[in-house]
Amino acid sequence: MNRSLVAFVGGILFGIGLVLGGMTNPAKVINFLDFTRNWDPSLAFVMGGAIAIYAPINRLVSRKEHPLLDDRFHLPTRKDIDARLVIGAVLFGVGWGLGGFCPGPALVSLMSFGKSALVFGASMFAGMTLFTLWQRKR
């Protein structure tokens, strides 16, 4: 099996799921995050459905010696909570709340060439570039 083909098909399926679930609609996401006005709990069902599918499959796969298309699992080893993690989480949450996009749905939404998706995508790219440059200087 070709790993690139499997990754491509997985990415396409993930993107379709994001579109069908409404995760690429910033207004829907903002309504989900705003409990004070027009709260829309439907994305909770999307996330719950994803967890319901992921949890048993993860349990099954984690019992294996290695993944199907690699010689080992590539899992994070750090368990500490530092300022970099907290600041990143805060920036992620603020960006999600203000823009209505998180990185995955934002990339999928770029295909629509909508103004908000393009602005968010450009901002996300600029932020990642600035962070990379900052890391290199450290």
Express each pLDDT in 56-80 by its tens digit.
999 999 999 999 889 999 999 999 9
Number of domains in the chain: 1
**Given this model, what pLDDT does residue 59 score?**
94
Q: Are 118 and 110 in contact (CB under 8 A)?
A: yes
pLDDT, mean of residues 107-136: 89
29, burial (CB in 10 Å: exposed 0-12, middle 13-18, buried 19+): buried
Domain residues for 98? 3-73+80-137
- Characterize 55-90 residue by residue with b for buried, 16 or more Cβ atoms within 10 angstroms of its Cβ, and e for exposed: eeeeeeeeeeeeeeeeeeeeeeeeeeeeeeeeeeee
